[in-house]
Amino acid sequence: SQQGEEDPQALSIQEGENATMNCSYKTSINNLQWYRQNSGRGLVHLILIRSNEREKHSGRLRVTLDTSKKSSSLLITASRAADTASYFCATDARRSGTYKYIFGTGTRLKVLA
Amino acid sequence: NAGVMQNPRHLVRRRGQEARLRCSPMKGHSHVYWYRQLPEEGLKFMVYLQKENIIDESGMPKERFSAEFPKEGPSILRIQQVVRGDSAAYFCASSPPRGSGTYNEQFFGPGTRLTVL
């Protein structure tokens, strides 16, 4: 599997339900970020979580990071139709000389009204 | 403080033409990254530049693609003799200089959508 691989690939839920997306990665990281992308649009930064943090909240979003399992999860509570989008995690490749981000293929979330 | 700016937002080229994509980083940022996103896929790293230097071009195709980040002006991603497979969204990101404490946080532009006919 690739660094920063999301699971599931697609998720369809009813408005008001919670949505959970997972991300796994392979190498050690400095931080992990979650982004949202509406169809055909740019990236919207959601949350950055550093490697020494375990959980972070922002409004209806909750991100956890487990560095021992090399995984992160994004929870969206009380989902809305406007949350319909693709969600990507991105990890920085902690190799000397470069700080590129490696993105997964994304989870396509559909929230039904 | 304006965010990362990219232009054009949409670019249409015929096969064999050249495409030039521009990226102006956030004010005070000296690191620029280019990523490509094919339809239904995640972003793939292409190249990482600092002013007048290419630091990491491991994700960039060896032929037809080049990137620069001059001392003055925006970063340019240049694709020569475009082919249909180059059709994608190209995103630029920037980050502050090292030592600022946030150098590994990247801020993304809105992207340029290249369509090759």
List, for residues A11-59, the tens digit of each pLDDT value. Answer: 999 999 999 999 999 888 888 999 999 887 888 889 999 999 999 999 9
For residue A73, pLDDT over 90 is answered with yes
For residue B114, pLDDT over 60 is answered with yes
Confidence of residue B100 (pLDDT cuts 50, 70, 90): low
pLDDT of residue B26: 93
Is the Cβ pair A103, B35 closer than 8 Å? Answer: yes
How far is A45 from chain B, CA to nearest CA, in Å? 8
Q: Which of B95, B7, B86 is nearest to A98 (CA)?
A: B95
Instruction: Give the tens place of pLDDT for each residue, B50-96.
Output: 999 999 999 999 999 999 999 999 999 999 999 999 999 999 999 88
In chain B, % of residues over pLDDT 90:
78
Is the Cβ pair B105, A4 closer than 8 Å? Answer: no
DSSP B26-45: PTT--EEEEEEE-TTS-EEE
B chain contacts of residue A92, beta-carbon cutoff 8 Å: 104
pLDDT of residue B65: 98
Q: Which of A107, A37, A111 is nearest to A72 (CA)?
A: A107
Is the Cβ of A88 closer than 8 Å to some Cβ of chain B? yes
Please check whether residue A91 is in contact with residue A98, taking contact to mean a CB–CB distance below 8 angstroms: no
For residue B101, pLDDT over 90 is answered with no
Question: In angstroms, how far is CA A37 from the centroid of its own chain?
Answer: 11
Confidence of residue B42 (pLDDT cuts 50, 70, 90): confident
Question: In angstroms, how far is CA B112 from the centroid of its own chain?
Answer: 9
Q: Which residue of A has its CA nearest to B50?
A: A98
Map tokens 């000296």 to a residue. B30
DSSP A83-95: G-EEEEEEEE--B
